[in-house]
Amino acid sequence: MKETILLGHGSGGKLSHELIKNLFVKYFDNAILKQQTDAALLQLNRTKIAFTTDSYVIDPVFFPGGNIGKLAVCGTVNDISVSGAKPLYISAAFIIEEGFPLTDLEKIVSAMADEAKKAGVLIVTGDTKVVSKGQCDKVFINTAGIGVHEEKYCEIGLGVKIKTGDKIIINGSIADHGMAIMAVRNFGNFEADIKSDCASLNGLIQKILNTGSRINFMRDATRGGMATVLCELAEQLKLGVEIEEFRVPVNENVRGMCELLGFDPFYVANEGKVILVVHPDDAELVLETMKLHELGKDASIIGEIVEAHPSKAILNTGIGGKRIIDMLAGEQLPRIC
Amino acid sequence: MKETILLGHGSGGKLSHELIKNLFVKYFDNAILKQQTDAALLQLNRTKIAFTTDSYVIDPVFFPGGNIGKLAVCGTVNDISVSGAKPLYISAAFIIEEGFPLTDLEKIVSAMADEAKKAGVLIVTGDTKVVSKGQCDKVFINTAGIGVHEEKYCEIGLGVKIKTGDKIIINGSIADHGMAIMAVRNFGNFEADIKSDCASLNGLIQKILNTGSRINFMRDATRGGMATVLCELAEQLKLGVEIEEFRVPVNENVRGMCELLGFDPFYVANEGKVILVVHPDDAELVLETMKLHELGKDASIIGEIVEAHPSKAILNTGIGGKRIIDMLAGEQLPRIC
């Protein structure tokens, strides 16, 4: 381990994984945490539940397509939803810098309330801490969430049923959230016309599950981008992941902004994107179902699980080449969520 | 509402209550949140659970009797335990300042692991965010927790069974945590020989419940001190609360430090103190049971619920006078937890 905490330890990439393995999993040592899914699968009496937490430190607090409050609800709703559970209850804990405008706090809280209503979850418990000016930057929000599992879906987050030949599907364009934030940071407010994809995915996911299709894995691609999910997947499965670059939806203005600022969209954060691994016979039905939903209209089958190159995710590039999709090494975009 | 966030909004006192009522409860508007207990009482299929969250921003991070990690586990274990539930699972979310020493983080994480083991809870999910130097102060930790209720105890946190004549019991001396922190802040490390009372109370509480006594209410006295719990209790019940000052245990060195620095120990934070309201016929049994436990050996019956002065908590002072125990107005000790 490095001797001090670096920004990269919060990137969701290599250093984050090291920190989790060498510190948190080592000390907190238990079988549930070791599964390292975004939402823990817990048994309470006869009920199986999903339990997750995330802190949000995004800067700026307000951005095109949302604010830190909306993001905090969507993020936790999504972590529970991709585990296969139905999100029900959310906690909201605020750390606020002294002097933060109450009108801004009200906008944030109001956005949380709106998003919770939309997603059909209740915010049932909370906490407020205030620190002196300069001891935190504006406002940080933590949300934890609880969802209830149906027995048949409770292992989706673990990916235990994935097999060679399964199709990999994404519900739409990548890198919108990260580039919306970068556009604001670099060029001021709302000028680049790129909007965060920040959204609660539980409605879409419920529709997909309702088809009865064999959904063998889901994960939302947030910090570290789509690439990180694919790397984690390949490593965990000891199978190969193969992605067709031309099938991955990227909005033109987002691609342009990525080129301008030197980012690879595969590594840029999303906040409303889910990657699914689906039995090949069910992939078309899933795709069509997704396309009928507002949050899945640009869905695409982007690749599949293969026997070749185990533990590696490979990108077939548009020009006929192949390259390894590696895990994010440093920190690309601090405070992106 | 004031126009900007003040330190007092995080005090646990009057301004906190205003903010919760006028902002969070107003927007998040649901019956569960409105109960305003530290742990929400939720129904998941046929299982009743307690769900709570707290962020910890304590400064200094290391203090006599514990550190921010130990505190984060104890605090959440206690919020669940006083609701009458058995704490089982905890989440841990870190916001870390870039440059924070990894050895310090390891000490914190190790203390969390130790305390979780001691309290019999598992840390099952987590999150790590890193912010640039100067954007937070060292490290903030959020823990959320889940506990399972037995039907017969699930309303303890609501206090619906409290009646006139019920005895008020505390498990030991007050103000230790707050004054330990103030001693370190004012006089440097460990010199005043005052230790935080930071401890997980679930073991003690389980022993009390096992007696079969009629425990009509429990709450841990943290931010805002014992006074805040008593005020909240009186207001909520529309009954009177009467406390005998000489029965409230205060350690001599803590009393001295309070006088020196101008604090009223009734308003100073605790992190291992529970206030119980017990049927008068069961109070002696509860007291004796508590005294046999390490964390209850200085337990004391400090007062009772009365018909007189409804919605007010009154202190009978040592010198024969009476004074109203009012809610904390401003912020006494920022970043005390």
CATH number at residue A200: 3.90.650.10
Report pLDDT for B78.
Answer: 98
Residue that finishes a domain, picked among B130, B153, B176: B153
Q: What is the mean pLDDT of each run of 10 residues along chain B (337 residues)?
A: 85 88 95 91 93 98 97 98 98 98 98 98 97 97 97 93 98 97 84 89 98 98 94 94 97 95 94 98 98 98 97 92 87 85
Domain check: are B199 and B184 in the same one? yes
Report pLDDT for B192.
Answer: 66
- Single-letter residue type at A206: Q
What is the pairing mode between strands A313-316 and A274-278? Answer: unpaired
Condensed to tens digits (0 to 9), the pLDDT of residues A238-295 reads 999 999 999 999 999 999 999 999 999 999 999 999 999 999 999 999 999 999 999 9
Domain check: are A234 and A267 in the same one? yes
Domain check: are B190 and B311 in the same one? yes
Inter-chain CB proximity B32 and A122 less than 8 Å:
yes
Substitution target in A1, A53, A86 with the highest count of B β-carbons within 10 Å is A53
pLDDT band of A191, cuts 50, 70, 90: low
With CA atoms as reference, the chain A residue closest to B17 would be: A128
Domain check: are B180 and B291 in the same one? yes
Strand partners, B67: B62
C-alpha neighbours within 13 Å on the C-beta side of residue B73: 27
The string of DSSP codes covering B44-93 is ETTEEEEEEEEEE--SSSEETTEEHHHHHHHHHHHHHHTTT-EEEEEEEE
With CA atoms as reference, the chain A residue closest to B80 would be: A125
Q: Which of B6, B44, B144 is nearest residue A47 as measured by Cβ atoms? A: B44
Domain check: are A95 and A26 in the same one? no
With CA atoms as reference, the chain B residue closest to A113 would be: B28
Any alpha helices (H) in chain B, and if so which ranges? 14-19, 26-28, 31-34, 68-81, 102-119, 176-187, 202-210, 225-237, 252-261, 283-291
Strand partners, A122: A89
| CA neighbor of A130 nearest in space, from A103, A96, A92 | A96
| CA neighbor of B238 nearest in space, from B162, B328, B294 | B162
Domain check: are A174 and A321 in the same one? yes
Residue that finishes a domain, picked among A125, A153, A181: A153
| CA neighbor of A76 nearest in space, from A144, A124, A15 | A144
Condensed to tens digits (0 to 9), the pLDDT of residues A56-79 reads 999 999 999 999 999 999 999 999
Handedness of CA B80, A22, A68, A102 (dihedral sign): positive
Report pLDDT for A80.
Answer: 98
Letter string b/e over residues B134-152, b meaning 16 or more CB atoms within 10 A of that residue's CB: ebbbbbbbbbbbbbbbeee
| CA neighbor of B198 nearest in space, from B61, B64, B331 | B64
Is 70 exceeded by the pLDDT of residue A138? yes
| CA neighbor of B130 nearest in space, from A62, A140, A38 | A140
Report pLDDT for B187.
Answer: 86
| CA neighbor of B29 nearest in space, from A105, A123, A69 | A123
The string of DSSP codes covering A173-225 is -SSHHHHHHHHHHHH-TTTT---------HHHHHHHHHTT--EEEEEE--TTH
Q: What ipTM was estimated for this complex?
A: 0.96
Inter-chain CB proximity B148 and A44 less than 8 Å:
yes
Letter string b/e over residues B1-24, b meaning 16 or more CB atoms within 10 A of that residue's CB: eeebbbbbbbbbbbbbbebbeebb
Instruction: Identify the domain containing residue B142 by its residue range.
Output: 35-153
Two tokens, residue A154? 């409770």
Condensed to tens digits (0 to 9), the pLDDT of residues A204-245 reads 999 999 999 999 999 999 999 999 999 999 999 999 999 999
Two tokens, residue B145? 């927790």
Domain check: are B98 and B208 in the same one? no
CA–CA separation, B131 vs B139, rounded Å? 10
- Single-letter residue type at B168: I
Two tokens, residue B144? 């959320």
| Position B162 in a domain | no
**A-B contacts (CB, under 8 Å):** 296
| Position A159 in a domain | no
Two tokens, residue B83? 């609701």
CB A139 within 8 A of CB A100: yes
3-state secondary structure of B154: coil
Inter-chain CB proximity B6 and A98 less than 8 Å:
yes
Q: How far is A295 from chain B (nearest CA, A)?
A: 25
Report pLDDT for B190.
Answer: 58
Tally of CB atoms within 10 A around B233:
21
| Position B277 in a domain | yes
Domain check: are B174 and B279 in the same one? yes
CB B227 within 8 A of CB B135: no
| Position A270 in a domain | yes
| CA neighbor of A252 nearest in space, from A194, A185, A318 | A194
Helix (H) or strand (E) holding A254: helix A252-261
Letter string b/e over residues A180-215, b meaning 16 or more CB atoms within 10 A of that residue's CB: bbbbbeeeeeeebebbbbbbbbbbbbebbbeeebbb
Domain check: are A55 and A26 in the same one? no
Domain check: are B173 and B319 in the same one? yes
Inter-chain CB proximity A109 and B27 less than 8 Å:
yes
| Position B333 in a domain | no
| CA neighbor of A251 nearest in space, from A323, A196, A312 | A196
pLDDT band of A336, cuts 50, 70, 90: very high
CA–CA separation, B77 vs B72, rounded Å? 9
CATH of the domain at B131: 3.30.1330.10
Contacts of B249 (CB under 8 A, 6+ apart): B170, B172, B173, B174, B298, B300
Q: Which of A6, A16, A126 is nearest residue B53 as measured by Cβ atoms? A: A126
Report pLDDT for B130.
Answer: 96
Instruction: Tell me the residues of chain A between 26 and 85 that have a Cβ less than 8 Å away from chain B.
Output: 27-30, 32-33, 38-40, 42, 44-47, 49, 51-57, 59
Contacts of B236 (CB under 8 A, 6+ apart): B159
| Position A2 in a domain | yes
Domain check: are A171 and A305 in the same one? yes
CA–CA separation, B213 vs A156, rounded Å? 45
Handedness of CA B287, B84, A44, B128 (dihedral sign): negative
Q: How far is B4 from chain A (nearest CA, A)?
A: 4
CA distances, A196 to each of A247, B14, B336 (Å): 21, 38, 37
Tally of CB atoms within 10 A around B246:
11
| Position B330 in a domain | no
Phi first, then psi, for residue A302 (nearest 5°) are -105, -10
Total domain count for chain A?
3
Task: Compute the average pLDDT of residues A180-201.
Answer: 87
| CA neighbor of A105 nearest in space, from B135, B95, B2, B13 | B2
Cα first-last separation, chain B: 24
Residues in chain B with CB shorter than 8 Å from the CB of A103 are 3
Domain check: are A141 and A273 in the same one? no
Q: Could you tell me the pTM of the whole model?
A: 0.96
| Position B337 in a domain | no
Residue that finishes a domain, picked among A104, A120, A153: A153
Two tokens, residue A331? 């920190």
Report pLDDT for A187.
Answer: 86
Inter-chain CB proximity A23 and B125 less than 8 Å:
no
Phi first, then psi, for residue A92 (nearest 5°) are -140, 115
Strand partners, A274: A220
| CA neighbor of A121 nearest in space, from A82, A139, A149, A148 | A148
Residues in chain B with CB shorter than 8 Å from the CB of A95 are 55, 57, 95, 140
Substitution target in B17, B18, B29, B53 with the highest count of A β-carbons within 10 Å is B53
